Structure 1
Amino acid sequence: MIADDHEVIRMATRMTLEKAGHEVVGEASNGVEVVSKVRELAPDLIILDMDMPQLDGFAVLQRLHAEPKPAKIIVFSGLDASRYAVRCARAGASGFVAKDSDLKQLVNAVQMVMSGYKLFPVTEYSSVDGSAVQASEKELIETLSDRELTVLRSLAKGIRIKDIAAELLLSEKTVSTYKSRLITKLQVGNLLELVELAKRNHLI
């Protein structure tokens, strides 16, 4: 099953997988639909985008991983692998493939994961373009929960608290609490500094 909010990406992924001999049993364009269709269709494998409306990728991963017979999941994402691959593995994914890679890599990942292997890029924090400040910022970011990271990315994209609340199915008060907690945990003074930190660390 393919889960992505972009129809063109779903179409290209479907064509590539079917050409490689795989059967695509369904598609989903938002997080709530993913969970519902997985329960209905019981696919062996899910290709999951992390940036989707209604339920973000981490919430979807956690819900699907908690199912009695969880399907294998490959995260197919435009997010920075060095920041997100390990988090996706912890949340229950079996593999991570970057969207900027060749679709053949996705086919190879599908074959490996279906054969029982896990597939994640080997990434290390590089200090080539960094400094002690960036390294310590990375350490602070690592302390965030998946939900805090999702809220941080939404704030950094300029999405209003009201809209973040609607998308994540939370109250506005809860999102405001997350925002305050992020400012404290990441040791910044205000929302602008929070956004700059997110951009500096390639979170958006």
Structure 2
Amino acid sequence: MDLTLFYFPGACSRVTMTALEAAGVAYHDRLVNIRTDEQKSADYRRVNPKGKVPALAVDGRIMTENAAILVFLDRLFPAAGLLPHSDDPVAEIAPLSDLLWCSSTLHPAMRQIRAPDKFTAGDPAAVKADGMGKFAAEATRIAAGVDARWWYGERWSIVDIYLFWLCNVAEKGGFPLHDYPAIIDHAARVRALPPLIRALDRERAGADRAGIEGIIY
């Protein structure tokens, strides 16, 4: 199987790249420079008409949306243990619910914090304040869920990586993550995971080749 990940260093494609590293599978990576709006180019829109990263080419067929790609990789590489599984149908669907929470609730709030100007042609301060409030409401739940544990208990999952990435970027945008010591502790544990370390190294190499600076690691 031929896999190619379309990514940008520091974007949510970091979560996807970490999943591929955890699976231990060979894959190609293709940097899409969102700093120069390459994701909006005609060439890239032929890959992903949505004009976003990540996208994953699987033997030439394109998959989009991070939650869907992560579920696909979990099914394709079950030994990687990216998500927990259960014979109970309600428990089995819970990880998908969590991934969609990350992508549809936390991610938009984080973007309001990190890039409020993308949401308005006027003063972005109100947009950022709204994002801060939304993220704070969810941060309490995150902190409770990772307090001296992984999100699903004793073993890390790709949801831990997604939560780490969201909180890390929100903090760089000014969110007071220091108010949530459980999240700070969780981040330290996530940073020590070998698949994330390998993904970060691969991102750095790509950024260096492209001459891209200022990436959040």
Same fold (TM over 0.5): no
Higher relative contact order (CA 8 A, sep 6+): 2
- Bigger fraction of residues in helix: 2
- TM-score normalized with structure 1 length: 0.33
